[in-house]
Structure 1
Amino acid sequence: MQRFKFGAAALLCALALPAWAAQPLRIGAAVYGLKGEFMQMWVDALKRHPAVKDGSVQITVFDGRYDALTQNNQFDTMITQKYDAILFVPIDIAAGAEAVAKAARAKIPVIGSNTRVNGDQLTAYIGNNDTVAGELQAEAVAKALKGKGNVVIMEGPIGQSAQLERSAGNQKALARYPGIKVLERKPANWSRAEALTLMENWLTARPGQINGLIGQNDDIALGGLEAVRGKGLDPRKMPAAGIDGIRDGIVAVKNGTLMVSFFQDAKAQAQGALDLALRAVKGPAYQPRSDIWREYAKPMPWAGGAAKRYDVPWTTITPANADALLAKLKPGA
């Protein structure tokens, strides 16, 4: 008899729960690719969000394999299977807009994170301002060269917002230094291996001519410096700047191999995106569960989760703050 009473009470309790609490929300994370360390960090941080850890959200990660068509097809899958929301890190600023439009027609909220798409159909976007980072890194290299010398620029995948905006920032800074000449500019697609090969070719074709390196992420900056070392040159004598703050990048700044990098917080981008998705699904009463909103309360207030864009601030990586930033990358941090 007692068992029956308990079961009835449990049933009444379950019936009283709101629909979204009865079963886990299904949220897809469509990321442009998982070969690079930064996106691996982003996914790891997403899986550590409190709502994922307690089982109230079920995350499915879709590897876009650096291909816009693949990402578009993955959106078709999520729309057909009626996912509750989508987190989107697009490979292409133009092609990604079509995928977002399809989800909007299906009334599935899409939260952009890390890289952007054209148009205004995203429910919200959270990420760092890549134009600012591109300007900061080029300015740092130009200053280290005292405004004179030759630099090479290794870019991200052509057509991705990070590549476009970091390139615009690079150009804005270098325009202030007429004594700096850009000898070469090519994509290395966020790949350390591609950057190594590219820099080897440039060093062979232009012996003794390259004075500085602007790598639009840490992986390609580090790949370029590996090529410098492979040619018997001292990478510490070639001012180089990266972006992202992956572990190897921070360590390279700490030991002086990489002159400077700029930390973009993968946890803030990923967990912030999930909180914004949950707000879109559950409504204005939802309160964010990630601690990133407390950490960045002043520069990036939650403010009800109703804004269309949230800019995570950059942190300049230096030998002085390297250990503190490395601590942020530890599991569970």
Structure 2
Amino acid sequence: MKISLRILLTCLVLALAWACGSKESGEKKKIVIGVSMLSLQNEFIQQVSASLEKHAKEADVELIVVDAERSALKQVEQVENFISQQVDAIILNPAEFEASSPAILRAKKAGIPIVNVNSSTKEKPDAWVGSDDAESAKMAIDFLAKKLNGQGNILIIQGYMGQAAQIDRERGAVEALKAYPNMKLLATQTGEWDRAKSMSLMENWIQSYGDQIQGVFAHNDEMGLGAMQALLDAKKKDKVVVVSVDGIGDALKAVDAGTLDATILQNAEQQGAQAIALALDLIHKKPIKESQVLIPFQVKTK
């Protein structure tokens, strides 16, 4: 009887374990997406990240968001960690065009779908969503040319060197300037997407060029706002047109106040929404209508 009782109890335990296991296996596994952002200290990148989180929540998707802190090496390591965690997909906001490319290769080798958002890499991901950075530069140069009647001396503050937006905005500006032979580029240098560094750079340029400066194109709003502040402090802003890219909150306020002449708005909300949608389509192996989704820029003036 003791033996029979033991057998009965063992069978009951096994039956309960099987039932619990069956229940767990029958439950829908939550989708997990790993996200590596180039810098969460940057306001526009914060906006893209917020949009990703918003649309992931709406889709009941778990996001693991990490900050690469502008380091491509760190970004590649973060993607390797996502692979070891066996996430369902990866969204990459690349720190650099070439140096972040190994992250794409590692994800593809592991069979994990990868989507680039806002910026690009030399290696092609499974899908990409962002805006045409060369076009934003053309819009900025065209704006300067219109305000300056096609002639004058300008400065260009570039983004972090080697990052795709910097490369494309520089290329777009160089091409656009060909249409305006009476506009002269006095100097160009990186401000590393940073407001304080760009303010310091602009202060140096004011010392070097003084009243020769008629226009400034900054690759992003943080740098544009830094340049604007340096010009305001030197009491020269009323003689210099400043335009930058992104459409962050501070830039829109400065445009409304008339201190920043224009910002070329790119839509962070749509970039985040489309990146989540593309990642989910790839996870569910749905056919992708467009592997590259372009969100248009808009010129915002007072």
State if a TM-score over 0.5 links the two structures. Answer: yes
| CA-based RMSD | 1.9
**Aligned match for 1:151, one of 141, 154, 165:** 154
**Aligned match for 2:246, one of 244, 259, 272:** 244
For the 8 Å contact 2:105–2:123, the answer to whether it is kept is no
Q: How does 1:215-226 map to 2 (within 5 A)?
A: 215-226=218-229
Equivalent residue, structure 2, for 1:172: 175
Equivalent residue of 1:83, what SS?
A: coil
The reply to whether residue 208 of structure 1 matches residue 211 of structure 2 is yes
Q: Distance in 2 between matches of 1:240 and 1:10?
A: 65
Letter in 1 for 2:263: S
1:77-126 Cα distance to aligned partner (Å, 9 max, x none): 11111111111111111112111001100001110110000133x11000
Equivalent residue of 1:186, what SS?
A: strand
Q: CA deviation at 1:13?
A: 7.8
Q: Distance in 1 between matches of 2:25 and 2:91?
A: 30
Equivalent residue, structure 2, for 1:322: none
The reply to whether residue 25 of structure 1 matches residue 13 of structure 2 is no
Q: CA deviation at 1:53?
A: 4.5
Q: CA deviation at 1:318?
A: 2.5
1:236–1:41 Cα change, 3 Å: farther
Equivalent residue of 1:206, what SS?
A: helix
Equivalent residue of 1:172, what SS?
A: helix
Q: CA deviation at 1:23?
A: 2.8
Q: Distance in 1 between matches of 2:140 and 2:235?
A: 25
Equivalent residue, structure 2, for 1:310: 293
For the 8 Å contact 1:236–1:258, the answer to whether it is kept is no
Q: Distance in 2 between matches of 1:318 and 1:205?
A: 29
TM-score when normalising by structure 1:
0.81
Q: CA deviation at 1:161?
A: 0.8
User: Which structure 2 residue ranges, 5 or more long, are not aligned?
Assistant: 1-18
Q: Distance in 2 between matches of 1:57 and 1:113?
A: 17
Q: Distance in 2 between matches of 1:280 and 1:66?
A: 27
The reply to whether residue 109 of structure 1 matches residue 113 of structure 2 is yes
Letter in 2 for 1:105: K
Q: Distance in 2 between matches of 1:24 and 1:33?
A: 27
Letter in 2 for 1:43: S
Q: CA deviation at 1:143?
A: 2.0
Letter in 2 for 1:71: Q
Letter in 2 for 1:69: L
The reply to whether residue 52 of structure 1 matches residue 35 of structure 2 is no
For the 8 Å contact 2:104–2:123, the answer to whether it is kept is no
Q: CA deviation at 1:257?
A: 1.4
1:169-212 Cα distance to aligned partner (Å, 9 max, x none): 11111111111111110111111111101001111122212111
Q: How does 1:1-333 map to 2 (within 5 A)?
A: 22-49=28-55, 51-53=56-58, 56-120=60-124, 122-233=125-236, 235-284=237-286, 305-319=288-302
For the 8 Å contact 1:236–1:259, the answer to whether it is kept is no
Q: Distance in 1 between matches of 2:118 and 2:100?
A: 13
Q: CA deviation at 1:146?
A: 1.2
TM-score when normalising by structure 2:
0.89
1:13–1:80 Cα change, 3 Å: closer
Equivalent residue of 2:210, what SS?
A: coil
Q: Distance in 1 between matches of 2:68 and 2:189?
A: 22
1:10–1:257 Cα change, 3 Å: farther
Equivalent residue, structure 2, for 1:328: none
Equivalent residue of 1:193, what SS?
A: helix
Q: Distance in 2 between matches of 1:273 and 1:132?
A: 21
For the 8 Å contact 2:270–2:295, the answer to whether it is kept is yes
Same amino acid, percent of matched pairs = 31
Equivalent residue, structure 1, for 2:7: none
Runs of 4+ residues deviating >4 angstroms:
9-17
Q: How many residues align?
A: 285
Q: CA deviation at 1:11?
A: 9.0
Q: CA deviation at 1:250?
A: 1.2
